[in-house]
Structure 1
Amino acid sequence: MTDAEQEFQKVLSRVDVKPWTLYTDGASNVNGTGLGLVLKSPQGDMIAQLICCDFKATKNEAEYEALIIGLTIAKDMKIKKIDVNCNLLLVVNHVKGSYEAKDPKMVAYLDITKGLTNYFDNFSIEQVPRENNVKADALAGLGAVFKNLNLNNIPVVHIMKPAMERLALGTKTMTLDQHNDDTSENIDNWI
C-alpha cells in the first residue's frame, strides 16, 4: 500500500469523518441506456462517471444499475459513510422498505443493493427532485446516446469570456483550456 493510500485509509477510519454523498440517475430511451453518478467527498471534491450500457433497460432498471455501480465504487474506495440521492421514488422506497418489490427483476436488483448497503457503517438514501440531481441526470442522458454516436473521448472546452469580449481583444488567435489530458491548444481563426 502506498503512503497516499495509507493516509487515505487513516482519514476514512476517523470517527468524526462526515459522509460522502452519492448522486445517481439512470436514463433509458430509444437511443439506449445510460447511467450518471456523482460521488462527492465531505470536502466537496467530486468524481463524476458517465456510463453507456450495452444492453436495454427500463428506467427503473437503469436507476438500480446506477445505484449499484455508485455503491460499488464507494465500497471499492473503502468509504464507510454515504448518503445517496436518487430522483426515482420507487427505488428509494424499495431500499427503505416503504414499497415492496414484486417484479422478479426489481427483487433481484433490490437484493444486490441491500447486499452492498450492508458494507457501510452509515447509509442513507433520499429521493431528490431532478433539479437537485442535475449533474447525474445530465450524465445519464449523455450515456444513453453515446453508445450510438461511437464517441469515446470528447474534450471539455471552457470558454472564459463571451464572444463580444474575445473579439474586442483584437486578436485572431484564441487559447482555450481543454480539460482533456490537461493539454492546451491554440486554435487559429476559430471564430
Structure 2
Amino acid sequence: MTYPLRKVLHKPESSGRMLKWAVELGQFDLEYMPRTAIKGQALADFLLEFDSEIDGKALVAVHPSPPEEVLEEFPHPWWVLHVDGIVNNGGAGAGIVLVSLEGHHLMSAIHFKFYATNNYAEYEALINGLKISLEMGVRNLIAKSDSELVVNQVNGGFQARGPRTELYLRCAQCLIGRFREVRLECVP
C-alpha cells in the first residue's frame, strides 16, 4: 500500500542521507511519491476540513461590486498610522507603522538618498505612510506624528513657508483628500 508523505521532517541533502531515510522508513512499508501540486492540495485539504461549515456557500462571491451608496452603509474600520522622520550624521530616513483594527502591524523603514531637514523627513514619513495606507485600501485613518510643525501645517493651523515645504504640504493634503476621513494628531 502506498501513501503520499504529507510532512517532510528533513530534506535529505545527499545520497547517504537518502539511504538512512530508506532504512528508517523501510520498516513501515512506505513508498515515496513526490507531491507536485502542493498549493492545489492545500486548498483541497482546507475545503475538506471546513466542508461541514460551508453548507453550499461559495468561498468567492461572483457578483459585481455593490454601488457606492451601499458601501457607505457599512462602517469602515479606523486604521492607525504612526510616522516619524529622522535626520542624523548617517543620513535621513523615516519609520512607518500601519496598524489595522485587528492589531496587525505593517512596518516600513525608508532611507533617503537625498538631503533632508528634520521637517522634510517628517513630511516624507507622512506622505509615504499615506501612500501605503491608500495601497492597503484604508478609508478611515488616524495618523500620528511627533512633528508639531507638520501636523499643524497639514491641519491648517500653521502656514507653510518656502517652496519645498509648500510642495510637501500640498502633496500631503492631496493624499489626505483621497481618504474618506483622516485625523492627524501630534503625539509627544
The reply on whether 1:95 has 2:95 as its aligned counterpart is no
Scaled by the length of structure 1, what TM-score is found? 0.60
Distance in 2, matches of 1:91 and 1:16, equals 29
Kindly indicate whether the alpha-carbon contact (under 8 Å) linking 1:25 and 1:87 is maintained by their aligned counterparts in 2. yes
The reply on whether 1:56 has 2:115 as its aligned counterpart is yes
Deviates more, 1:84-93 or 1:72-81: 72-81
Higher strand share: 1
Give 3-state SS (helix, strand or coil) of 1:84's partner: strand
RMSD, matched Cα: 2.0
The reply on whether 1:68 has 2:140 as its aligned counterpart is no
Report the residue type matching 1:89 in the other structure.
Answer: E
Kindly indicate whether the alpha-carbon contact (under 8 Å) linking 1:35 and 1:66 is maintained by their aligned counterparts in 2. yes
Distance in 1, matches of 2:138 and 2:163, equals 30
| Matching residue of 2:183 | 124
Which residues of structure 2 form unaligned runs of 5+?
Answer: 1-58
Report the residue type matching 2:129 in the other structure.
Answer: G
Kindly indicate whether the alpha-carbon contact (under 8 Å) linking 2:84 and 2:95 is maintained by their aligned counterparts in 1. yes
Over the matched positions of the two proteins, sequence identity in percent amounts to: 35
Report the residue type matching 1:96 in the other structure.
Answer: N
Distance in 1, matches of 2:108 and 2:151, equals 21
Q: Considering Cα pairs closer than 8 Å and 6+ residues apart, tell me whether 1 or 2 has the greater RCO.
A: 1
Correspondence for 1:80 among 121, 128, 139: 139
Alpha-carbon offset, residue 18 of structure 1: 2.2
Alpha-carbon offset, residue 103 of structure 1: 1.5
Report the residue type matching 2:184 in the other structure.
Answer: I
Give 3-state SS (helix, strand or coil) of 2:184's partner: strand
| Matching residue of 2:174 | 115
Report the residue type matching 2:96 in the other structure.
Answer: L
Distance in 1, matches of 2:74 and 2:162, equals 39
Report the residue type matching 2:180 in the other structure.
Answer: D
Correspondence for 1:19 among 78, 81, 84: 78
Alignment deviations for residues 32-63 of structure 1 (CA, whole Å, 9 cap, x no partner): 01110000001111001111111120000000
Kindly indicate whether the alpha-carbon contact (under 8 Å) linking 2:76 and 2:139 is maintained by their aligned counterparts in 1. no
Runs of 4+ deviating beyond 3 Å: none
| Matching residue of 1:172 | none
Distance in 2, matches of 1:16 and 1:78, equals 14
Which has more radius of gyration? 2
Distance in 2, matches of 1:103 and 1:68, equals 18
Alignment deviations for residues 133-172 of structure 1 (CA, whole Å, 9 cap, x no partner): xxxxxxxxxxxxxxxxxxxxxxxxxxxxxxxxxxxxxxxx
| Matching residue of 2:163 | 104
